[in-house]
A = this chain, B = another copy of it.
Amino acid sequence: MQSLQVDLGERSYPIYIGRGLLGQAQLFERHIAGRQIAIVTNDTVAPLYLEALCHTLAKYSITPIILPDGEAFKNWETLQLIFDALLAARHDRRTTVIALGGGVIGDMAGFASACYQRGVDFIQVPTTLLSQVDSSVGGKTGINHPLGKNMVGAFYQPKAVVIDTDSLRTLPSRELSAGLAEVIKYGLICDAPFLGWLESNVDALRALDDAALRHAIERSCAAKARVVGSDERESGLRAILNLGHTFGHAIETHMGYGVWLHGEAVAAGTAMALEMSRRLGWIAEAERNRALRLFIRAGLPIVPPVEMTPEHFLGHMAVDKKVLDGQLRLVLLRSVGDAVVTADYPAAVLQETLVANYQALFEQLRSQ
């Protein structure tokens, strides 16, 4: 087992990474203060791992809370089911909520923990690659609003993150690819050598090689922990973690939550951010192509939905959380491994980026 620390003063917590961690009771027990726990999961993950986790934690009074699976359910109505269950089973302030599932479960269980009786403990047990490398670390929690993704939420840190890499054995390959979008992101924004490692290991990752997976997860979590440790509430640096997300959120919102997986939308959105960085003269065409080829090899889309016009993008992006005093800030690459957040770009270059021919680019790169 490997272990990392997210340094946030009195809100610091460990990330444990290894095989079979779902069965290690003492890992959990050191982070559980009371006698009650609630395990929040969904109807896809519950049949796979809920019984095993309940067995591990048999000494506690357990309330299982099983939600419908999918980003489309990341809303208030579903969140309310958590509060209903906690209150019906009379969970008090000393309870611990455990999020067992992917990013949607982690975001909702975390937000419910932030709000239930104004805050109770919670533990992240992410079971998808995407949630293991990204959403389970850093304390961003929340739900979607019909007018924007993650618009209602809280910064609320878990007591621990327990990553059992065995859970990736049951993950559909489309979801594994979606997770790789965020893994590649860390290489692009702050770790150029990691990008080289990924080029050599993307096939091993897709084949679920455990050593490769553990290395990718640890390096991704370490990058995220560094960034979050220096800017917990996203007043500056932390925003670079959103490379590709402003374009990507527009895709998710426009297509309807859950039609594109988050990682897929981030991949296509990152393709747009790379294209814009190239048009600004910050990265070379060869660098853009190298990154796009890696996304393609990871099984990810680099072409935004054909039905989305520039007006669609601009409309959705106007409510992005990075808008300040009316100015849309974008995460772009100064060079590979060096991201910046900036509103200082010509509007024309954004416009050109929105109408660029990504389909032609995809066909050209695929045939090389």
Give the residues from 90 to 132 in chain A that come closer than 8 angstroms, CB to CB, to chain B: 90, 92-94, 114-119
Closest residue of B by beta carbon distance from A140? B118
Q: Which of B88, B94, B145 contacts A87 (CB 8 A)?
A: B145
In the complex, are the beta carbons of B319 and A90 less than 8 A apart?
yes
Q: Which residue of B lies closest to A235 (CB)?
A: B93
* Oligomeric state, in copies: 2
List A residues 20-37 near B (Cβ within 8 Å). 34-36
Interchain CB contact under 8 A, B154 and A93: no
CB of A355 closer than 8 Å to a CB of B:
no
Whole-angstrom CA separation of A94 from B319 in the bound complex:
13
A148 to B319, alpha carbons, bound, how many Å? 34
Closest-by-CB residue of B relative to A141 is B118
Interface residues as binary, A129-169 with B (CB distance below 8 Å gives 1, 0 otherwise): 00000000000101001011011111100000000000000
In the complex, A194 has a CB within 8 A of chain B: no
Contact with B along A69-94 (1 / 0, CB 8 A): 00000001000100110011010111
**Cα A76 to Cα B325 with chains together (Å):** 28
Cβ of A321 under 8 Å from chain B: yes
A111 CB to nearest chain B CB (Å):
8
Q: Does A296 contact B (CB under 8 A)?
A: no
Among the interface residues A76, A87, A92, which one has the most CB atoms of the partner chain B within 10 A? A92
With A83-B152, A87-B147 as given contacts, are A321 and B93 in contact (CB-CB < 8 Å)? yes
B151 touches A117 (CB 8 A): yes
* A35 surroundings in chain B (CB, below 8 A): 325-326
Q: Which of A118, A150, A319 has the most CB of B within 10 A?
A: A118
Is chain A's binding surface mostly helix, strand, loop or mixed? mixed
Q: Are A87 and B34 in contact (CB under 8 A)?
A: no
Return A4 CB to nearest CB of chain B, in Å: 24
Docked-complex contact B319 and A87, CB < 8 angstroms? yes
* Chain A interface extent, by class: 35 or more
User: Which chain B residues border A279 with CB–CB below 8 Å?
Assistant: none
Chain B residues with CB under 8 Å of A114's CB are 154
Contact (Cβ within 8 A) B154 A115: yes
CB distance from A167 to the nearest CB of B (A): 27
- C-alpha gap A253/B92 in the complex (Å): 18
User: Which residues of chain B come closer than 8 Å to A314, judged between CB atoms?
Assistant: none
Measured between alpha carbons, how far is A116 from B116 in the docked complex, in Å? 17
**How distant is A326 from chain B, measured CB to nearest CB, in Å?**
8
Question: A153 CA to B80 CA in the complex, in Å?
Answer: 13
User: Which of chain B's residues has its CB closest to A34's CB?
Assistant: B325
CA distance A241 to B321 in the complex (A): 37
Bound complex: CA A155 to CA B118 (Å): 6
Q: Which B residues lie within 8 Å of A53 (CB)?
A: none
Q: A83-B151, A87-B151 are in contact. Are A233 and B325 (CB under 8 A)?
A: no
Q: Does A318 contact B (CB under 8 A)?
A: yes
Contact in complex: B147, A92 (CB < 8 Å): no
Asked if B321 and A152 make an inter-chain contact with CB atoms under 8 angstroms apart, the answer reads no
- Judge whether B87 and A324 touch: CB under 8 Å: no
A356 at the interface (CB under 8 A from B): no
Indicate if the CB atoms of B90 and A323 lie closer than 8 Å. Answer: yes
Q: A117-B153, A119-B233 are in contact. List 13 more A-B contacts (CB 8 A).
A: A34-B325, A35-B325, A83-B151, A87-B319, A88-B147, A92-B323, A92-B325, A93-B324, A114-B154, A116-B151, A118-B153, A118-B154, A119-B155
